[in-house]
Structure 1
């Protein structure tokens, strides 16, 4: 019988990741010039957490972190975008499962695969799902929310492409490359 529980390591990562998401969302966001739309460094961090700890951690960090950030700093969550943050974290984690960053591998091939994956995931999330949910949940005007979604999506794709890649390369360098340690042979006298 397989256990469907999260490891202690993953639970701790979700807690710490959520806190960092909230802090980055508050103090490391840059106004975009479009109302209620900022350039977020949080998604580069979310991508790192999703790649390192997997899709469940990525999804929960995005969902809980965004909901808490909105509730604390704006009074209530904007659920359409909160849901998309969770979806983005989950899908980046799923799409990058073959990236073996724990073994110190994050070369050109993995960087390209990661960036293609994150760009597709974010384009679907921010260009399509978030604006559509804004219309369905909040009856927002379509022209307004699709512009916001496109601006946020492009900003997130670029931010994750640059900062997320830098974070992942740096993280991979802290891991021991698989096969880099050779077993020492004992010499008998």
Structure 2
């Protein structure tokens, strides 16, 4: 089972995924009026990787990518938000088999499934877990962390809903549909 979860392909995907997550978080984020919160395109990429490689890869890409980005950018890691990045990647990855992006089919039904899942994952993470961990671990004021969580959930839902869906549609188009090959007579 360990070999199946951590194939060479999955390990490479985790490493490259974490690196791309860092690059997007550092250079493709948009500042916001909420302190220490920005509009992140990195979560759209995280969603793509979670759907392609599954929940373990999605969780580890979120964990490693966010932790390293914090360490590089700020000199310390804000663990409450790192944990949420891991949870969001993991939860989105849970529907990878149901969506089966490798089939080349990313129908409207699958797009809806993906977006319902990402909305629920983001809401659980940014509206509930991140603020509560900020209060418990860092003794942050509740009004500040819930405002940050609200901004993060709205911006991440929009970026993953738009950019993530576009990435998945484009990726699905690169896959061969299972019934696309026919034998010539």
TM-score interval for Structure 1 and Structure 2 normalised by the shorter chain: over 0.9
Q: Secondary structure at the match of 2:98?
A: coil
Residues 121-160 of structure 1, C-alpha deviations (whole Å, 9 max, x = no match): 1011000000000000000000000000010011000000
Gaps of 5+ in 2: none
Q: Within 2, Cα distance between the matches of 1:48 and 1:68?
A: 20
Q: CA deviation at 1:18?
A: 0.4
Structure 2 length-normalised TM: 0.97
Q: Secondary structure at the match of 1:30?
A: strand
Structure 1 length-normalised TM: 0.95
Q: CA deviation at 1:4?
A: 1.5
**Residues 1:104 and 2:107 aligned together:** no
Q: Within 2, Cα distance between the matches of 1:132 and 1:161?
A: 25
**Residues 1:32 and 2:43 aligned together:** no
Larger radius of gyration: 1
Q: What are the residue-to-residue correspondences of 1:4-19 with 2, within 5 Å?
A: 4-5=2-3, 6-19=6-19
Gaps of 5+ in 1: none
Q: Secondary structure at the match of 1:183?
A: coil
Contact 1:96-1:117 within 8 A present in 2 as well: no
Q: Within 2, Cα distance between the matches of 1:143 and 1:39?
A: 20
User: 1:48 — aligned with what?
Assistant: 48
Q: Secondary structure at the match of 1:175?
A: coil
Q: Within 2, Cα distance between the matches of 1:111 and 1:94?
A: 15
Residues 94-146 of structure 1, C-alpha deviations (whole Å, 9 max, x = no match): 03430011010101111011001100110110000000000000000000000
Q: Secondary structure at the match of 2:30?
A: strand
User: 1:128 — aligned with what?
Assistant: 128
More helix by share: 2
Q: Within 2, Cα distance between the matches of 1:26 and 1:178?
A: 38
Q: Secondary structure at the match of 2:99?
A: coil
Q: CA deviation at 1:63?
A: 0.2
Q: What are the residue-to-residue correspondences of 1:159-170 with 2, within 5 Å?
A: 159-170=159-170
What is the root-mean-square deviation in Å for CA atoms of aligned residues?
A: 0.8
User: 2:154 — aligned with what?
Assistant: 154
Displacement over 3 Å in runs of 4+:
none
